[in-house]
Structure 1
C-alpha cells in the first residue's frame, strides 16, 4: 500500500458524499461549540476578523478537497473562492485600521514583506525538496528564482506551490494602497482613486495577454478596496444596525438572500463580466454575521486558533493535500480529514514559530548594524 498519493491522475471516489461531508460539518460544529466562550466584543474587532479567517481556512480546505481530490464534487466546491474573498476583504479592512489611508510610514514595507515572504520562502524550499524526493519533479533554477521572487505565472511555470499566486496579488494591492496613501487628497477622494487603480489592474489583465497568466485575479478585483471602504465607514455602518437583540435576528433574512444571490449570480445578473461584482453578495453576509456575533458575545477558541495561523495553513495545505497526500485517500475520509487537519495545524504552528525566529534574527542583525553605525566616529 502506498504511503501517499498524488492527485495528478487520481481521484477519491465516495459512495455517499453527503453523509461524509455531513459528518465532517457536524464534528466541526461540535468543536466550534465546545470551544466557545463569552467575551467582550466590539463590532468587527480583531478577534472577530481572526475568527472569520478561521472560517475561511475551513472553506478553503473543503473547497480544494472537493475540486482537487474527489471524483464527484461536494456542494462546497467554491469554498476556495469564498476563502480568498474573506482574506482579501479583511486585509483591506485591516490596512485601513492600521494606516487610515494616510502617508504609510517606512515600516510599512518591511512589515509586509517579512510577514509574507519569510513563510513563503520556507515553504518553497520545503516543497522543492519534497517534489524532488517524493514525486520526482525537478524545478529549473529560473523557475525557482521566479517563485522565490513571488511570480507565479499560469501557463509558463510549473509552480512549486500553486496557491502562492495569492502572495503576488496581495503585494500588488499593497503597492496600490501605499501609492494612494501618499496622495495629497482627502480620504474620500483617495478611496475613489483606490477603486480606480484596482479596476485599472482588472482592465490591463483582461485586455492584454497578461490574462493568460493572471486571470484568477479578475474575480477578486472589488474585494480589497471594499474592505478599505468598510474600514473607513465601519462606525457609520454600525449605527445603522439594529441595537435590540430581537431586531438583530431579522438580519438572518438579508444574510440568506445574499447567499442565494451569490450562488445564483449568473442567472440573476446575466451580464457579461458581472462576476467582478459577485463578491459583494458574500461581503454583505460577512458584515451582518459579525453583527450577530456582537449580539451573542461568544468567540470560538478553535476558530481563533485557525485564524491566527491562517496564512501558514494557506501556504501548506495544497501540496500536502494534492501533491503528496498522506491521509485523505484513506478510509473513512471523515476520520482522515481530521488527521490531515491536525497534521496541518502542527506544521503551520512550526512554520509560524520558525518564521518569527527568522524575523527576530533579522531585526537583531539590523539593530546591531544600526548601533555600530552610531558608534563609528565621523
Structure 2
C-alpha cells in the first residue's frame, strides 16, 4: 500500500537533489569520444531515462504526497520516450549495418529481453507467494510470462510498469516485418501510424491505454535519427561531419546551445500537459497529442545536450548499463519489500534504494547474461 510520509517534503527534496547533483558532478570525466552519437552517450541517456521513471514511481505511486521528489519526478514520460527512441535507434543501426533474417532477429531479441524478464517475473511470483501469501490466477501468470500486460495497476498487478513490455513487444514484432534498408524513414512512418492507431482506437481493449497513446512516435523517431546519422567508411555523412565540427570547434557556441536546451528542458518540464497549451490543443484536437509532443521536445533537448557536452558521466552510464534490469526490479522491490522507508528518513531511503537497484541489477545481469549465452549456443547447434 502507499506510504504516508511525515518528513518535511521540501527539505527532503532539497537533500535528494543535492546528493544527486553531487554524485553527477563528481562522476564527470573529460570525454575521449570522437563519434557524434556513440554508445557511451546512448548509455547515459538510458541512465537518465530510467532515473526519471524511478523518481516518478517513488513520488506518484509509492507515497501519498505528489510533491515528493519534485521536480525530479515530473518527466517520467520523457524517460519512457528515451527508452523507445533508443530502441528504435539501436535496432535500425544494427539492421543498416547487418540486416538479419526475420527469425534470427526474433531469436536475438527474445534472448536479450525475455531471459531477464522471465527470471524476474518468476522470482516475483514465487517471492510474493512465499513471503507475502499473494497468489495470482494461473491464466494471469501465463499471460504475464508471454508479456501480455493490458493494465498498470500499481499494487494489484504483479509489476505495474510492465505495461511497457507489451508496448515494446509490439514494436519489436513489427519492426523486422516492415523494415526497409533502402527506406528506413518509410518503415518508421508505418510503425508510427500503426502505433498511433492502436493508441487512439485501442482495438486490443488495453485497460490502461492512456499510457500507450502517450508514446506512439518515439520509437519511429529513433529509427529516423539512426537513418539521418548513418554513415559508412566509403561515404561521408555531411550532416554528421558538420555537427561534429560544430561540437569540437565552436566551444563557446556549443555551451550557448547547451544552456538554451537546459532552459527549454526546465520550462517544458513545468509545462508538460495540454492545460498549459490551449492553442496547441485546439489545433491537434486531443490533449494526449500535446502531452506527447512536449515529452518529445524535452527528449530531443536532452539528446542535443548529451551530444554536445564534452564530458562523460560515469553515474548515468552505470545506470544506463543496468537500465533494463532496474526497470524490471525497482517497482516490486519498493512496493512490496520496502524496509528503508520504515527505518530511515525519506531522503536516505531514496538514496539507499538508488544504490540497491544497481546492486540487485548487477546480480541479475550476472545470472542472465551467461544464461542467455548458453541458450544462444544451444539454439545455434
**Fold agreement, TM-score > 0.5:** yes
Indicate whether 1:16 and 2:8 are aligned.
yes
**How far apart are 1:238 and its partner, in Å?**
7.2
Match of 1:3 in 2: none
Contact 2:44 2:316 (8 Å CA) reproduced: yes
Structure 1 CA distance, aligned partners of 2:185 and 2:218?
A: 18
Question: How do residues 360-371 of structure 1 correspond to structure 2 at under 5 angstroms?
Answer: 360-367=373-380, 370=381
Tell me the SS of whatever aligns to 2:340: coil
1:232 matches 2:227: yes
Alignment partner, residue 161 of structure 2: 163
- 1:108 matched to 2:101? The reply is no
TM-score (norm 1): 0.85
Q: Which of residues 234, 247, 256 in structure 1 aligns to 2:253?
A: 247
Q: 1:37–1:299: 8 Å Cα contact kept in structure 2?
A: yes
Aligned partner (choices 83, 88, 91) of residue 87 of structure 1? 83
> Paired residue for 1:57?
50
Q: Classify the secondary structure of the residue corresponding to 2:312.
A: strand
Query: What's the CA shift for 1:346?
Result: 1.2
What residue is the counterpart of 2:232 in the other structure? Answer: none
1:227 deviates by 1.3
Change (3 A) 1:301 1:209: closer
Cα 1:30–1:21, aligned 2, differ >3 Å: closer, same or farther? same
Pairwise CA distance, 1:153 = 2.1
Displacement of 1:134: 2.8
Matched, 1:71 2:74: no
Q: Is the 8 A contact 2:7 2:346 kept in 1?
A: no
How far apart are residue 210 of structure 1 and its match?
1.0
Instruction: Indicate how the Cα distance of structure 1 residues 130 and 331 shifts in structure 2: closer, same or farther if over 3 A, else same.
Output: same
1:180 aligned onto 2:217: no
TM-score by length of 2: 0.84
Select which of 137, 142, 148 maps to 1:140.
Answer: 137
1:201 aligns with 2:207: no
Deviation at 1:24, TM superposition (A): 1.2
Paired position in structure 1 for 2:126: 129
- Matched residues in 1 for 2:30 and 2:181: separation? 44
Pick from 255, 263, 270 the counterpart of residue 256 of structure 1: 263
CA distance in structure 2 between the partners assigned to 1:337 and 1:255 by the alignment: 25
- Structure 1: distance between partners of 2:118 and 2:174: 23
How big is the shift at 1:82? 2.5
Aligned equivalents of 2:89, 2:343: Cα separation in 1:
40
- Aligned to 1:212, the other structure's residue is in SS state coil
SS of match in other structure, 1:168: helix
Aligned residue in 1 for 2:288: 275
Q: Structure 1 residues 353 and 78, CA, compared in 2 at 3 Å: closer, same or farther?
A: same
Per-residue CA shift, 1:99-132, capped at 9, x if unaligned? 1398542421111111111111111111112211
Change (3 A) 1:95 1:259: farther
Q: Report the structure number with the largest CA radius of gyration.
A: 1
Deviation of 1:20 (Å): 0.8
**Equivalent in the alignment of 2:115:** 118
Take 1:21 and 1:14, find their aligned partners in 2: how far apart are those partners? 13
Listed as ranges, the gaps of 5+ residues in structure 2 are 230-236
8 Å Cα contact 2:265/2:301 also seen in 1: no
Tell which deviates more after alignment, 225-234 or 275-284: 275-284
Tell me the alpha carbon deviations over residues 292-315 of structure 1, each in whole angstroms, 9 at most, x when there is no partner.
Answer: 444442111121111101000000
